[in-house]
Structure 1
Amino acid sequence: MHRHLRLFVLSSLSTALSVYACGSPSKRGVDSDGEVPSIETACAEFSEPAGWHRGESVSPAAEASMDRVAAVGEATWPLALDLLKSVSVESHPNIAQSPTSLFAALGMAYSQWQNGQCGERIATVLRFPETGDAIHPAIGAGLLHLAERARPATDDSSAVALNLSSSRWAMGQSSIPKITEIHRIYGATPHAVEDQGEASRQLINCVIEQQSSGLLKDFIPEGVIGAETVSLDINVTYLKAPWPRAFEEAEVYFTPEGGQRARVPGLHSGALSASYYEAPSFHALHLPLRGGELKVLLVVPRETFTASLEEFVASLPDNELRAARDTTLMDTFDFRMPKIDITAEPMNYTGRLGFDCDPFTLGDLIHGAGVVMDEGGLEAVAATVAEEWGDGGFEPTTRPFAIERPFLFFVFDTATRFVLFSGRVLDAG
């Protein structure tokens, strides 16, 4: 029985996940002058044992109208809710996930079986607005638009770095795969490795670590790549973005679900101008990242909603969430919220999302994400492995907006509507 693995990784910024060293992300093989070497140099020790053959880089070339791109972005929102519903709060009170990462991974996987039962199942679960060959340019163009959010540093602000790196790996092969239209649409560099075991796993993990600026270490676990693994598709996305203006550090109150009210490390702004939305069961606030195209949507159930956060997600209508996303209402707030620090923990989503594909098609779907939000900005990492079998002077009036109870968050792009990251926080302690 042959397996065809597809691995997609999505990551983004601010200070450092708790599982990584704080400060600048550590990278394998930084030289004595502080320069970061090329991937080939950094991963040289693994190249020969794995029998690595690297092809030429492929520049992404996907074209689709903004309406088609936004239609794909719209589909990431119900997927975000499905992902939250698929993992119990008992096992994971705090969790982060990446709908965009799953769309990238499963979009490429879909290209293998788009005319068969598994392709139909992927299109149904992800709510593809188009099927067949048409969906790939819409996804690829969306990823290109996201890459355009990068901005250089200025005298007043840090840079926004957003890099998307895709690759396709032929396992147990010495010939580099032929470049196809899927390579071009997703900008996927072709690779071949002769090894189908531990040597190739170490090599590919080194490449992922480099492409994620050191944030994802040893991501593919031992035993995943074996003699039956025939290929992998990999995407690594790195986003580093500050807030337009840093928040103050502060202790804030938070009451975890089923717990006692306590002080926790948090963020504060005494005069935050922000978009907001009021619904019968929740209120919401937008926190823009530098540039304004990327935002964090915070969704907080009202105190009158006495059920659990899990029940809140189950009852949250798609149209209310879209209305919160698209709101144009503005006000000035005395804003307080706890810091977010969620460690990535890969888990299998095949059964959770209902991917009951035919044999010899999609196997395991491993996904994990971690998010940190602090006074400086946002940092997040996510990975998806889709296994395939084959053969000034003015004092504003402010309103209070203090997040003191469990809440949801969505990191999204305003133009494409893609949800980069989403998650929940039940316990901020």
Structure 2
Amino acid sequence: MKKSKLNKKLDKIKSIKSSKRGIHMSSLMDSYDAVSFFNGLVFFAPVSLLVRTQAGVSQSMFFLLQALLSAITFLGEIPTGFLTDRIGYKRSLVLSQSLLLLARSLLFVSFLCKNPVLFAIEAAVEGLSYCFSSGTDSAYLYEVYGNEAYLSKTAHASNCGTAGFLISTLSYVIIYHQCGIEGLLLSTMAAGTAAAIFSIKLKPEPSKNKQTCYAKENEAENKNFAKKETYAFNIEETVKIEETAKQGEHSIKQLLSVMKHPRALLFASALSIFQVSWLLINFFYVEKLGECGISPEWMSAVILGYSAVEMLAEPIIRKLGTSFSKSWARRFGILCGVGFLAFGFVSKRILILPLMLVLPLLLKLPEYFVMEQENVLVDLLGVKEQRAAALSVLNMGVSIIEILALFASAALTAAGIGWCFLGVGVLLIVCMLCVC
């Protein structure tokens, strides 16, 4: 009895040390951070809307292209989710980065050819890329770093991406004046190549390694058993196959039942609104500057400003620690919704510029919380062994709502982009009141 108690204490100490080690490691640079950094090097970001409009894509068509991207992501969520659980999170992330690099290349060709059909193909490939990363990146971090370090590591990796975004924004002016939009697109392709290379260097998730070892052990045992009892083995193997098929059917039903959980729809709604919010920030800040009489050339300064402020998310989460709960997520989310409401129709520079700087940070914090709660829900429902597929099922709901929101945004552009900000602001407030 004393020995067992001692072993329990030792196990507890080891678990505490491992959790601390996970938190410490989350603050260091690794291959995942490098992937985030190079993905953040989007040199054409300040003129991303211009890349499309100069090729003959209208604002309403732009929203429709985004809807196509979301539709492709929706259709591929479950198949790629099951494939991810089979091949591992790392391989899925490598596939995602390879497809994203292909999408960047297609965007360059689309701009040169000024062909809307090519833009549609580019959106489809980018959507397929998101299929493989949708839920996978979250599942990867949750498995590798654990629940204790998930939020801090997610914020840290995001800050690496933001750092890359800051560098690309600073470099944008030089590249644009020297090489034009073509130079910006080629530079982004080079960064995408680096991201794809670093994705290959990602360490495999521990759970997948264990499953692989167990599979090899079972295979070896089956071979030895077959040599001794060939006939008996065939009978037992048949039974195992039938049981596996039944388990497969059961797991599919179990995954589909995830969306029936009351909180699943709330999480899907919140994340879809976050996605549309980021779309408005990334593509329509520049129009708001024009409405306020500010030259679009100042957009680079605005991007640098809000990206720097956005990096405060990691220290805020670290400072709050375990206190960063529903109440804090609700506060930040409601403040963000109020900010979007005001942003829609306020035209005074003294109010608009501070809002531009703080809105991305206010949006980021509740988004992290909802992403963490998705993983917690997966654990509670007992489908953590199929985490990627379960998160894909949840993200299907995100895609459906996002598609509807994008079609609504395409219609609202005729009345003015301010109405889009107003609608998103209202939805953010309602969603955060329900989710938190």
Superposed pair shares fold, TM > 0.5: no
Of Structure 1 and Structure 2, the greater strand share is in 1
**TM-score, normalisation: structure 2:** 0.26
Answer with 1 or 2: which has the greater Rg: 2
**TM-score, normalisation: structure 1:** 0.26
Of Structure 1 and Structure 2, the greater helix share is in 2
